[in-house]
Amino acid sequence: MASRLPEGFAVPVTMRQIARRAGVSAITVSRALAGSELLKPETRDKVLKVAGQLGYRANAAARAMATGRFNTIALLLDAKVSREHLPSNLLYGIQKTLADRGLLLTVAHFSDEQLTDESTVPAILKQVMSDGLLVNYKMGVPQRLIELLERHRIPTIWIESDRPYDCVMVDHAWGAAEATRHLLELGHRQIAFADNHPADLNAELTRGEVHWSLQERREGYAQTMRQAGLVPRFLQVHPSDESRDRLAQARQWLSARDRPTAVVCFLTATALPVMFIAQELGLRVPGELSVITFSDQRESMGIPMSRMRLPDLAIGEVAAQMLLEKIEHPSRRLRSARVRPELDPGQTCSPPASTRRA
Amino acid sequence: MASRLPEGFAVPVTMRQIARRAGVSAITVSRALAGSELLKPETRDKVLKVAGQLGYRANAAARAMATGRFNTIALLLDAKVSREHLPSNLLYGIQKTLADRGLLLTVAHFSDEQLTDESTVPAILKQVMSDGLLVNYKMGVPQRLIELLERHRIPTIWIESDRPYDCVMVDHAWGAAEATRHLLELGHRQIAFADNHPADLNAELTRGEVHWSLQERREGYAQTMRQAGLVPRFLQVHPSDESRDRLAQARQWLSARDRPTAVVCFLTATALPVMFIAQELGLRVPGELSVITFSDQRESMGIPMSRMRLPDLAIGEVAAQMLLEKIEHPSRRLRSARVRPELDPGQTCSPPASTRRA
DNA sequence: TTGAAAGCGCTAACAG
DNA sequence: CTGTTAGCGCTTTCAA
């Protein structure tokens, strides 16, 4: 029973107490707090005043019991922190959208082991405690998770997963194409594409460690290059713990005879070594080397990056909105939304030096 | 009523249904699911089997009603995203510690306006929906928030606030001292301290935009320098939108005649421009310039940073543990915990060139 | 315009 | 070892 609360716990104020004090019934208190129009204004004001005096706070569990709605949605994250990616703006976009509608957000991490072991069911799924789920699970969503969600018919929206329905994602292909177009318009011809994964995608994909979006970006870039009559050029980066490798790679790319005049990067972690080595080699950025990246962060080294601004905030907002719609109509499939990144010209792209010479 | 759920919603399975199917009473189901020892094993197994078949999930709200415990704690964040700081490891440390004990985590953002406006009470405080609160509110916790929490006697632990009780923080003074000692031991004498805020602390503090920890780091550094018979030297950085300024500042510091041979930075955002400019000026890092920083991130530019590893994970774990203790004993004040960062030697610190010459 | 009664799903206390 | 009864705090339905 609730009365076995520890010593020192605040004794919760209930509607009944307010009712007694205000000389009305509990239901009148309920209506007053809900702002019902039916009540006589004086009654309502009196109740609200007493509630204020007593420091009343509604019991969310009781409300959930009575209404069948939890007014809560849960956000699922990959427990492997190295793979997990939760930008502040994404969390904020979700949270804000929900809060504006009076919903709460709970967060949970799922480990692979939890999902592999058939006998275990993760806490979030063992209980009914939310009205729906947002899954922000970058690298290959575990099959068992999908099965569990379907079995329990939990309304779910997927963030940055490659699914035709019930999903919100960045329009990577468009973003890469746009970045490439930007460089083409500036007059670049030697435009290379560097991503933080090896060119041999398939080997990696099997291991589930490469995000599907890489392929999209590569295609967006390659297609734009070919449309301009140019040959796509991929710079390989081996993911490796030896981070000095990234510098060595960059040095190799930039000291080659046919070095690119512009590089499309995805991660800041790919762009920074490139810029650092450019500095080492005496290549001015952007004068002699243009660099464009995908990021939600304007700068990290004191230089405002030219970038495709990742729409983390919008992704969060759209995901939350879609989930709310799905909760209202659980059986409808919602066409996946693609949100375009936006070009921020920044200060790391300019016309190539060769253009001036010509 | 619960029966007014939208079309397509999964019909929730209740204990009563399991009870009927298994030919027992509801309370027996409750016990079986709780793993009670009192039950005859066969009964328990039968119940569990039926529960499994039906895909039973416990209703968290009903349980909260009956027990008076929500098994949920809430994490409060600053709604101003630019000020907010929620490292993956902090969130994970909190979440994991709670999950291991069967608790859920709810996240909410608080805006200043919400807290300034006396008439509004933020959603998290309007309802009772958690057993306690973690406040991760970097820049000056609003007074009104503190009042509301005290008024409702909500068990609260503060993260990275400067409070003698009920708080978990990084031991910044120790960290700065240790970083300085490390450089001293390597033989450096010209050790400067650069933080991303002006030397004139007080002007900033009034505006509430400087974290209290800066002062601690400055003192930890200064004290260690003086103990070594050296004069502390602070490099000023003006916080400014013109991020090129950071580069200009770094250029000024490093091209001065009496340039430091080592720099203690806090943010990576302070260290990166320094390293970039060192490159520009032909100063090798770490050969001619050592840089040490505070970070939870090993590298961001391809170079593993020498750093005081910020114990984000531990902070989260300790915060969660303290809160659980506080929930058990709400009236006890818990002495604030200080968690020390750990030195990661990295690759950006070495003995100074002058040592070799001497 | 207000109230009485019932019930949401679960668990604690007390019987048997 | 298992069941009965009651109640957590709230909202909904129906009645006054």
The arithmetic mean of pLDDT across residues B198-226, rounded, is 69
Task: For residue B170, give both structure tokens.
Answer: 């990084």
Distance A33 CA to D11 C1' (A): 12
Question: What pLDDT is recorded for position B178?
Answer: 98
The arithmetic mean of pLDDT across residues B339-353, rounded, is 94
Distance A126 CA to D1 C1' (A): 27
Q: Of the given ranges (A117-126, A157-166, A284-293), which has the lowest mean pLDDT?
A: A117-126
**Radius of gyration, alpha carbons of chain B:** 27
Q: Can you count the helices (H) and strands (E) in chain A?
A: 15, 14
| Min Cα separation B136/chain A (Å) | 13
pTM: 0.91
Enumerate the residues of chain B whose CB falls inside 8 A of the CB of residue A61.
Answer: 60-62, 64-65, 70, 129
Q: Of the given ranges (A118-122, B151-155, B337-341), which has the lowest mean pLDDT?
A: A118-122
Express each pLDDT in B307-333 by its tens digit: 999 999 999 999 999 999 999 999 899
Q: Which of A57, A91, A128 is closest, CB to CB, to B128? A: A57
- Is residue B196 pLDDT above 80, yes or no? no
- Is residue A300 pLDDT above 70, yes or no? yes
Phi-psi region of A166 (alpha: psi -120 to 50; beta: other; left: phi over 0): left
Report whether A326 contacts A132 (CB < 8 A).
yes
Question: What pLDDT is recorded for position A129?
Answer: 93
Where do the H-state alpha helices sit in chain A? 15-22, 26-34, 41-54, 60-67, 88-100, 112-116, 123-126, 143-151, 172-185, 201-206, 213-227, 244-255, 268-280, 312-328, 353-357
| Min Cα separation A100/chain B (Å) | 9
Report whether B108 contacts B122 (CB < 8 A).
yes
| Min Cα separation A226/chain B (Å) | 31
Distance B11 CA to C8 C1' (A): 14
Enumerate the residues of chain A whose CB falls inside 8 A of the CB of residue B268.
Answer: 300
Distance B308 CA to C12 C1' (A): 51
Give the separation between CA A234 and CA A218, rounded to whole angstroms. 8
Question: What pLDDT is recorded for position A204?
Answer: 35
Q: Of the given ranges (A230-244, A262-276, A287-301), which has the lowest mean pLDDT?
A: A230-244
Contacts of A298 (CB under 8 A, 6+ apart): A304, A305, A307, A344, A346, B243
Could you check whether the bond before residue A286 is cis, i.e. omega within 30 degrees of 0? yes
| Min Cα separation A79/chain B (Å) | 8
Question: What pLDDT is recorded for position A199?
Answer: 34
Question: What pLDDT is recorded for position A91?
Answer: 95
Could you check whether the bond before residue B286 is cis, i.e. omega within 30 degrees of 0? yes
Contact A106 B65 (CB under 8 A): no
- Is residue A290 pLDDT above 90, yes or no? yes
Instruction: Supply the mean pLDDT for chain B.
Output: 86
Instruction: Return the nearest residue to D11, CA–C1'.
Output: A66
Q: Which of B6, B59, B62 is closest, CB to CB, to A328? A: B6
The arithmetic mean of pLDDT across residues B72-82, rounded, is 88
Instruction: Return the nearest residue to D3, CA–C1'.
Output: B25
Residue keyed to tokens 């531990």: B314
**Residue A342's beta-bridge partner residues?**
A309
Q: Which of B9, B154, B300 is closest, CB to CB, to A330? A: B9
Report whether B220 contacts B172 (CB < 8 A).
yes
Contact B127 A99 (CB under 8 A): no
Walk across the sheet containing A156-159 and list its strands: A337-339, A167-170, A156-159, A132-136, A72-78, A104-110, B104-110, B72-78, B132-136, B156-159, B167-170, B337-339
Question: In the structure, what pLDDT confidence band is assigned to residue B80 with cuts at 50, 70 and 90?
Answer: confident
The arithmetic mean of pLDDT across residues A75-80, rounded, is 89
Give the percent of chain A with pLDDT over 90. Answer: 56
Contact A60 B243 (CB under 8 A): no
Quote the distance between the C-alpha of residue A350 and its chain's center. Answer: 30
Question: What pLDDT is recorded for position A174?
Answer: 97
What does the CA dihedral A12, A18, A19, A20 come to, rounded to 10 degrees?
A: 90
Enumerate the residues of chain A whose CB falls inside 8 A of the CB of residue B327.
Answer: 6
- Is residue A219 pLDDT above 50, yes or no? yes
| A&B contacts, CB < 8 Å | 232
Question: What pLDDT is recorded for position A354?
Answer: 60
Q: Of the given ranges (A83-87, A94-98, A347-351, B68-72), which has the lowest mean pLDDT?
A: A83-87
The arithmetic mean of pLDDT across residues A9-20, rounded, is 85
Question: What pLDDT is recorded for position B6?
Answer: 54
Give the separation between CA B179 and CA B187, rounded to whole angstroms. 13
Question: What pLDDT is recorded for position B354?
Answer: 60
Report whether A267 contacts A194 (CB < 8 A).
no
Q: How many CA atoms are closer than 13 Å to the CA of B123, on its beta-carbon side?
A: 22
Question: What pLDDT is recorded for position A70?
Answer: 95
The arithmetic mean of pLDDT across residues B227-237, rounded, is 88
Q: Which of B8, B68, B347 is closest, CB to CB, to A329? A: B8
Contact A243 B55 (CB under 8 A): no
- Is residue A229 pLDDT above 90, yes or no? yes
Enumerate the residues of chain B whose CB falls inside 8 A of the CB of residue A303.
Answer: 243-244, 247, 276
In chain B, the residue whose alpha carbon lies closest to the alpha carbon of A250 is B302
The arithmetic mean of pLDDT across residues B282-306, rounded, is 91
Contact A96 B89 (CB under 8 A): no
Distance B27 CA to D5 C1' (A): 12
- Is residue B358 pLDDT above 50, yes or no? no
Enumerate the residues of chain B whose CB falls inside 8 A of the CB of residue A295.
Answer: none
Distance B266 CA to C6 C1' (A): 62
Question: What pLDDT is recorded for position A195?
Answer: 79
Instruction: Supply the mean pLDDT for chain A.
Output: 86
Environment class of B82 (CB within 10 Å of its CB; exposed 0-12, middle 13-18, buried 19+): exposed
**Radius of gyration, alpha carbons of chain A:** 27
| Min Cα separation A48/chain B (Å) | 12
Give the separation between CA B93 and CA B122, rounded to whole angstroms. 26
Give the separation between CA B24 and CA A346, rounded to whole angstroms. 69
The arithmetic mean of pLDDT across residues B166-171, rounded, is 96
Express each pLDDT in B106-165 by its tens digit: 999 888 777 777 677 777 888 999 999 999 987 778 888 898 899 899 999 999 998 999
Pick the residue with more confidence: B97 or A6? B97
Phi, psi of B15 (to 5 degrees): -60, -35
Of B123, B219, B208, nearest to B175 by C-alpha is B219
Question: What pLDDT is recorded for position A256?
Answer: 87
Q: Of the given ranges (A80-84, A276-280, A301-305), which has the lowest mean pLDDT?
A: A80-84
Enumerate the residues of chain B whose CB falls inside 8 A of the CB of residue A273.
Answer: 301-302
- Is residue B205 pLDDT above 80, yes or no? no
Q: 3-state SS of chain B?
A: CHHHCCCCCCCCCCHHHHHHHHCCCHHHHHHHHHCCCCCCHHHHHHHHHHHHHHCCCEEHHHHHHHHCCCCEEEEEEECCCCCCCCCHHHHHHHHHHHHHCCCEEEEEEECHHHHHCCCCCCHHHHEECCCEEEEECCCCCCHHHHHHHHHCCCCEEEECCCCCECEEEECHHHHHHHHHHHHHHCCCCCEEEECCCCCCHHHHHHCCCCCCHHHHHHHHHHHHHHHCCCCCCEECCCCCCCCHHHHHHHHHHHHCCCCCCEEEECCHHHHHHHHHHHHHCCCCCCCCCEEEEEECCCCCCCCCCEEEECCHHHHHHHHHHHHHHHHHCCCCCCECEEECCEEECCCCCCCCHHHHHC
Question: What pLDDT is recorded for position B1?
Answer: 37
| Min Cα separation A72/chain B (Å) | 9
- Give the three-state DSSP class for A85: coil
Question: What pLDDT is recorded for position B116?
Answer: 72
Q: Using a 7 Å CB cut-off, which residues contact strand D?
A: A 1-2, 12, 14-16, 26-27, 30, 33-34, 58-59, 62-63, 65-67; B 1, 4, 24-28, 31, 38-40, 43-44, 65-66, 68
Give the separation between CA B102 and CA A115, rounded to whole angstroms. 17
Give the separation between CA A74 and CA B157, rounded to whole angstroms. 23
Q: Which nucleotides of D are covered by protein (CB under 7 A)?
A: 1-5, 7-13
Phi-psi region of B18 (alpha: psi -120 to 50; beta: other; left: phi over 0): alpha
Contact B5 A68 (CB under 8 A): yes
Give the separation between CA B244 and CA B249, rounded to whole angstroms. 9
Enumerate the residues of chain A whose CB falls inside 8 A of the CB of residue B78.
Answer: none
The arithmetic mean of pLDDT across residues A180-203, rounded, is 77
- The DSSP call for residue A186 is T
Distance A101 CA to C2 C1' (A): 29
- List Cα–Cα distances, A224 to A168, A219, A284, in angstroms: 24, 8, 26
Highest mean pLDDT among A114-123, A280-289, B73-82, B234-243: A280-289
- Give the three-state DSSP class for A291: strand
Walk across the sheet containing A342-344 and list its strands: A234-235, A191-194, A262-265, A290-295, A306-309, A342-344
Question: What pLDDT is recorded for position A247?
Answer: 85
- Is residue A189 pLDDT above 50, yes or no? yes
- Give the three-state DSSP class for A152: coil
Please state, as a whole number, how many other Cβ atoms lie within 10 Å of the Cβ of residue A219.
15
Report whether B159 contacts B136 (CB < 8 A).
yes
Express each pLDDT in B31-46 by its tens digit: 998 888 888 888 888 8
